[in-house]
Structure 1
Amino acid sequence: MSSPALRDARARVAIDLGAESCRVSLLRWRDGQPAIELIHRIPNGPVHANGTLTWPLDAILAGVEDGLRKAAHAAPEGIASIAVDGWAVDYVRLNPKGEPLRSPFCYRDERTVRVKEDADRLVDPAWMFAHTGAQPLRINTIYQLLADPASGVDPNAPWVNLPEYVLHHLGGRRVAEYTNATHTGLIDLETGDWSRPLLERLKLSSQALPPIVPTGTAIGKLQGSLATLDAFRDTQLIVPACHDTASAIAGIATPLDCTAYICCGTWSLVGTVLDTPMTTPEAMAAGFTNQGAAGGGFCFHTNINGMWILKQCLESWRKAGRTWDLAQLIAEASECACPGIVPVDAPPLLLDGDMPARLNEQLRLAGCSEIADRAGNEPLFARVIFESLAERYATAIQGLEHMLGCKLHRIHMLGGGSQNQLLTRLTAERTGRPVELGNVESSTVGNFAVQLAASEAGPLRREAVQRWAQRLSERARVAQPA
């Protein structure tokens, strides 16, 4: 057993923060083979209060600590490391004691709408995209930081993105992991560091910035009461690819040459991995962004609506007393004819509320008949959603190929959407390509793969991350186009 990771028989913990639930998973070695177990799940979701939308930070932290205690109990051999990934752009401001100033805002809060309009007059969005590689979206950290003064938040207070904050809370240094930092809209692509020109133009505090560290960096050891548990006597805190999408891509077990990926969850991310960023006007117009990848390169993808639409429909039907089992809904939708295709990125479909009515509005605008929102018609709505997502995926991949000047021969689908056999079949049919189905918990696999690869000598390498992802993943299933 030549690898340091194999010589260390202790377990490892991956924490994946999700907008709907957070998960604590444990990797243990059984007869020299890795086995991953979900130890604890924490319900999550943004909270409406006093006209704002925030995250329940105290509940998240309490749930994480509960999960770590369960992990310690389940792993008497000890735990070598803990790493945290999660959604990007949101952050925690800290007081001089390193404690949160307030609950962190959710990226869906509308406080950034006016701020982005003002910022666009100061900095040309096209220049910003070419300079940072990040699509200038109002949810980005840069616009949230600009919105803080009007929200009564000290703009000079130190801040740290949510996954890194959880590690900081557990005892690690305050840092910004590189893949997550690239999603802030504040990274200079040429230097790989915070953009001084942007900070100066927008008058953002450079003193509040956390230092950027590479993926796989150890940032300290577990501290506090948890560290008194036998399993946590000498546990390292590691930054994986802290943005869950970069972590999910790191969890893909097969080579990504000439391959597109679709990360399908609340959002859908459609793209591929590039060695160098693409910041052409065409890429910006198509809504693509460049996000750092674990071990080097860039995740080049566009953000598309996803299972959010279905989730909102299910919630509307639940309130009306029409509760559906998801598997049954998909099965019945498979037997329906398609009532029509809608643009899944239409602004009304990005909002919460009466989603069946919003879908009917889009069907009407597309020249299709509306669907009566009554019991028994739910599979028709589901069919519209899945057909429309598959069509949007196909359009995105065609545009991606045009920009790259080459054909992408297959698609790797991961996340919760990969369990939806109807969606994967429709995607294969509409794109005309085989769809390889990845691990549902690909972010967790990628998190562990980075931890294990980081234990090897030298800088983190993409090849090492992929090698570990292959070992940790189950054999892939493939959906073929008809």
Structure 2
Amino acid sequence: MTETYIAVDIGASSGRLMKSELQANGQLTLEEIHRFKNGFRMKDGHDRWAIHHLINEILIGLEKLKKSGVTKCYIGIDTWAVDYCLIDRSGDLLEEPISYRDTRTESAVQAFTAECSLERLYEKTGIQIQPFNTIFQLFVESQEKLNKAEKLLLIPDYLGYVFTGNAVTEKTNASTMQLLNPDSQDWDEELLSLAGIKKELLSPLTDSGTILGQLKKEQFPTFDLPEATFITVATHDTASAVIGTPGEGDDWAYISSGTWSLLGIETTLFNVSREAFFENYTNEWGAHNTIRFLKNIMGMWLIQEVARMQDYQYTYAELADLAEATPAFQQFIDVNDPSFLNPNNMIEAIQDYCRKTKQRIPESAGELARCIYDNLALCYAIELEKMEQLTGTGKKIDKLHIVGGGSNNLFLNQLTANAAGIVIEAGPGEATAIGNILLQMITTGVFSDLKEARKVIQQSFEISVHEPKKFDKTIINDYKNFLKERTAR
């Protein structure tokens, strides 16, 4: 009997349930069962996630699955990182979780430095300094709320808790909290104290690829649900995306391209050097004792917001076509500038940035899209170069895998191949869901390890190859100089 696996994959703007089965010919099928919107909205003074909406949509998706004839399945959940839910002594949610894009942490990093230097924080955790990291969210959290809480669970762990009644803290996601010590492989007591929480508030750390428990169907009597076993996968969506990347050997890097672009390598060594700290690279924990040494880059969020501000007049494919027909490299922007994190209007934010830096202001949809894609490609190119230098092995990265939704942007893929001078293999677009499912299959014995599981990706999903074409490297140097001047100011 063929087993059915369900990936519940939820990102910042949408979520879906993806059904997968391994066929007799060794190919993996992937079918969308249910898709739903996600997003934060202002409530009680903060940008919050509608967590009850997510729970309801997952139940709707599982009911659809049951109606399609599937009566038994395995389920894994992955979401974004750092945000958390607080649960009271009765097991109820204290309030809807606050989004990492909320403004409450704007001054948290500066306030935290009065207690601990950022360099020491990096040395202790290996995690990049971002104002939305959980440690900074907790640093400004209401002590009254923390005192009322019995448990603190990250978003995917909370969802698993709702469906099974079992509370764990999965390690790949927990590492992004900036509270774990890689030497002890446990919570750092000093940092917990600085964050204002007790260790007892946190559920047991759990490896990805462990059985969480059975779906408590009786808790949801209005839904006709299948029998389901929940598996704690790599619950951080980037960790799942890296599992779903068809890399072989050790000469490849990846970009998990979605709302964020996560550019990195898979390794087994932590890098907490001063150079890595100053370049703001992170050492997130991965499945099977791996490390995701990567750089967070503000990715498709930029074009997503531009599309939204234009009332989705153009599809993303149309925006790429408009960009390709527009003159190249008319503006330099730092895609990671804080002004782009959560502006009221992304178009105005980009135009204001160009105005302040005395550059041509992009006006049309094509000019805005071209500005974004040009600068993303340049950013990817220089970060690949930095990463090679930071790893210090002298080994050149010969191939770049781009996975996730952004891998479907053939224009940006080719632009990146040209700028970086590297062969790009793009796809699969559903790497996160695939990685979620592959880890479920490893857990249930379908595959023996990650290497064997990854082989099925190449034979199951379309991968496009982009060879680098001639590129004026003075543009890269001009972009580097632009960023240096901006940093110096």
Q: When the two structures are superposed, what TM-score results if normalisation uses the length of structure 1?
A: 0.91
Deviations 1:130-159 (A, max 9, x none): 111111322111122222216855365311
Q: CA RMSD in A?
A: 2.2
Residue 151 to residue 419, structure 1, CA distance change in 2 (3 Å): farther
| 2:355 corresponds to 1:388 | no
| 2:323 corresponds to 1:333 | yes
| 2:384 corresponds to 1:397 | yes
Out of 453, 461, 481, the residue aligned to residue 442 of structure 2 is 453
Question: Residue 451 of structure 2 aligns with which residue?
Answer: 463
Q: Please state whether the residue corresponding to 1:210 is helix, strand or coil.
A: coil
Displacement of 1:442 in angstroms is 0.6
Residue 202 to residue 87, structure 1, CA distance change in 2 (3 Å): closer
Question: Residue 280 of structure 2 aligns with which residue?
Answer: 287
Alpha-carbon separation, structure 1, partners of 2:452 and 2:191: 35
Question: Residue 417 of structure 1 aligns with which residue?
Answer: 406
Contact 2:136 2:195 in 1 (8 A): no
| 2:35 corresponds to 1:45 | no
Deviations 1:32-79 (A, max 9, x none): 653111100110100112321100011111001001111122243x33
Residue 154 to residue 53, structure 1, CA distance change in 2 (3 Å): farther
Contact 2:135 2:195 in 1 (8 A): no
Q: Please state whether the residue corresponding to 2:100 is helix, strand or coil.
A: coil
Question: Residue 265 of structure 1 aligns with which residue?
Answer: 258
Alpha-carbon separation, structure 1, partners of 2:79 and 2:415: 29
Alpha-carbon separation, structure 2, partners of 1:26 and 1:360: 42
Alpha-carbon separation, structure 2, partners of 1:12 and 1:134: 32
Deviations 1:312-344 (A, max 9, x none): 2222222xxx81232222112111112222111
Q: Please state whether the residue corresponding to 1:311 is helix, strand or coil.
A: helix
Q: Please state whether the residue corresponding to 2:107 is helix, strand or coil.
A: helix
| Structure 2 counterparts to residues 71-470 of structure 1, below 5 A | 71-76=65-70, 78-149=71-142, 152-154=145-147, 156-225=149-218, 232-233=226-227, 235-255=228-248, 257-318=250-311, 323-338=313-328, 339-371=330-362, 373=363, 377-405=364-392, 406-456=395-445, 461-467=449-455, 469-470=457-458
Displacement of 1:399 in angstroms is 0.5
Deviations 1:71-108 (A, max 9, x none): 122243x3331110010101111112222111011011
Contact 1:171 1:223 in 2 (8 A): yes
Alpha-carbon separation, structure 2, partners of 1:348 and 1:66: 37
Deviations 1:143-199 (A, max 9, x none): 222222168553653111111111111114100111111111010101211112222
Contact 2:79 2:155 in 1 (8 A): yes
Question: Residue 484 of structure 2 aligns with which residue?
Answer: none
Alpha-carbon separation, structure 2, partners of 1:153 and 1:203: 8
Deviations 1:442-472 (A, max 9, x none): 10000000000111299x843344345456x
Alpha-carbon separation, structure 1, partners of 2:378 and 2:286: 27
Deviates more, 1:401-410 or 1:210-219: 401-410
Q: Please state whether the residue corresponding to 1:154 is helix, strand or coil.
A: helix
Deviates more, 1:183-192 or 1:146-155: 146-155
Deviations 1:267-286 (A, max 9, x none): 11111111111111111111
Question: Residue 4 of structure 1 aligns with which residue?
Answer: none
Alpha-carbon separation, structure 2, partners of 1:417 and 1:331: 15
Contact 1:343 1:362 in 2 (8 A): no
Alpha-carbon separation, structure 2, partners of 1:176 and 1:261: 26
Unaligned runs of 5+ in 1: 1-7
Percent identity between matched residues is 28
Instruction: Report the residue type matching 1:480 in the other structure.
Output: E
Alpha-carbon separation, structure 1, partners of 2:361 and 2:457: 45
Displacement of 1:253 in angstroms is 1.9
Unaligned runs of 5+ in 2: 470-489
Residue 83 to residue 226, structure 1, CA distance change in 2 (3 Å): farther
Contact 1:131 1:188 in 2 (8 A): yes
Deviations 1:342-368 (A, max 9, x none): 111122122222222222233234442
Alpha-carbon separation, structure 2, partners of 1:362 and 1:379: 18
Instruction: Report the residue type matching 1:447 in the other structure.
Output: N
Contact 1:250 1:446 in 2 (8 A): yes
| 2:461 corresponds to 1:474 | yes
Instruction: Report the residue type matching 1:296 in the other structure.
Output: N
Contact 1:446 1:469 in 2 (8 A): no
Residue 402 to residue 151, structure 1, CA distance change in 2 (3 Å): farther
Alpha-carbon separation, structure 1, partners of 2:408 and 2:288: 28
Contact 1:93 1:101 in 2 (8 A): yes
Displacement of 1:203 in angstroms is 3.7
Alpha-carbon separation, structure 2, partners of 1:113 and 1:359: 20
Question: Residue 480 of structure 2 aligns with which residue?
Answer: none
Residue 34 to residue 262, structure 1, CA distance change in 2 (3 Å): closer
Question: Residue 5 of structure 1 aligns with which residue?
Answer: none
- Number of residues of Structure 1 aligned to a counterpart in Structure 2: 464
Residue 454 to residue 128, structure 1, CA distance change in 2 (3 Å): same
Q: Please state whether the residue corresponding to 2:7 is helix, strand or coil.
A: strand
Contact 1:25 1:39 in 2 (8 A): yes
Alpha-carbon separation, structure 2, partners of 1:152 and 1:296: 34
Alpha-carbon separation, structure 2, partners of 1:170 and 1:157: 18
Alpha-carbon separation, structure 1, partners of 2:86 and 2:450: 32
Alpha-carbon separation, structure 2, partners of 1:52 and 1:413: 34
Instruction: Report the residue type matching 2:338 in the other structure.
Output: P
Q: Please state whether the residue corresponding to 1:35 is helix, strand or coil.
A: coil
Displacement of 1:123 in angstroms is 1.6
Q: When the two structures are superposed, what TM-score results if normalisation uses the length of structure 2?
A: 0.90
Contact 1:172 1:237 in 2 (8 A): no
Instruction: Report the residue type matching 1:141 in the other structure.
Output: T
Q: Please state whether the residue corresponding to 1:80 is helix, strand or coil.
A: strand
Alpha-carbon separation, structure 2, partners of 1:300 and 1:157: 33
Contact 1:295 1:465 in 2 (8 A): no
Alpha-carbon separation, structure 2, partners of 1:121 and 1:108: 23
Contact 2:82 2:133 in 1 (8 A): yes
Instruction: Report the residue type matching 1:273 in the other structure.
Output: E
